[in-house]
Amino acid sequence: MSERRTRLLVGVLAALFIAPLMVLLVQAFADSWRAPGVLPDQLGWRGFEVAFGSARAGDALVNSLLVAFAATAISLVLGWPAARVLGMRRLPRNGFVFLLIGLPLLMPPYLAGFGLTEWFIRLGIDDSLAGIVLAHVTFALPYAILILLSGFNREVEALEEMAATTGAGPARRLAWVTLPALRPTLIAAALLSFLVSWSQYGTSLAVGAGRPTLPIVMLPFIQTDPEVAAALALVFLAPCIVALAFVARLQRTPL
């Protein structure tokens, strides 16, 4: 009885998740789809042809990937020590610093990007992928820190102490104790940083000076040509699906 109810619940939730995606999937291949019809009149590849042709989705995809990977790497490297200090409560004013780190998330991304552009022009890194990466780090880094610090706790510290007493130096403690203990947290932080960068629109628009990334390329089509927008959305969704599959797999293998 309760198993049946669980199954029903899972079914409903899955439907809520899948239904919009199904529309997207159909839309992307619907060369012609008029309002009253439940199914498209004509299927085809026009959406993708336009997307990867005149809309430069290929360039945008490469740019988005490069920027997201770079922003993730920088966020993790910068976020690690910050999260460690915060998570182990080594600061006299932990709560205040915690608040400061979260502060960028309250700022509208376009405004942050706008302000950064003025600086980037003076520093000579405007109109470059590096500039976009830095702008994305503004938003990816707080998320990375907030997630990572949940992994740094007394237990990890205790294990590091133990490793030190067995003769392991700092590098070995990191490799043998800290990284294995923080593996799930690190993966979560990486995934979120990546997706934050991946979906940035405002910052990329302000800083990028027209350099294509997937959201920038996609948005205009939402109004003008839903089929192209849907095709681009599918490309845009790919890493989310990969991430989801990854996490699902991770849950099955005990850490």
Write down the least CB distance from residue 166 to another protein, Å: 4
Q: By the 8 A CB rule, do 101 and 87 touch?
A: no
Specify the residue, 1 or 255, whose C-beta has the smaller distance to another protein. 255
Dihedral angle of Cα 101, 103, 108, 114, to the nearest 10 degrees: -70
Write down the least CB distance from residue 145 to another protein, Å: 24
Specify the residue, 165 or 224, whose C-beta has the smaller distance to another protein. 165
Write down the least CB distance from residue 186 to another protein, Å: 14
Between CA 190 and CA 137, with CA 201 as vertex, the angle to 5 degrees is 40
Specify the residue, 7 or 172, whose C-beta has the smaller distance to another protein. 172
Instruction: Look up residue 173 and give its amino acid.
Output: R
| Residues at the contact surface with another protein, assessed by CB under 8 A | 158-159, 161-169, 172, 176-177, 180, 255
Show the tokens assigned to 133: 């990466």
Specify the residue, 136 or 173, whose C-beta has the smaller distance to another protein. 173
Write down the least CB distance from residue 181 to another protein, Å: 8
Write down the least CB distance from residue 193 to another protein, Å: 24
Write down the least CB distance from residue 248 to another protein, Å: 21
Specify the residue, 150 or 166, whose C-beta has the smaller distance to another protein. 166
Going by their DSSP bridges, the two strands 42-43 and 30-32 should be labelled as antiparallel
Specify the residue, 50 or 164, whose C-beta has the smaller distance to another protein. 164
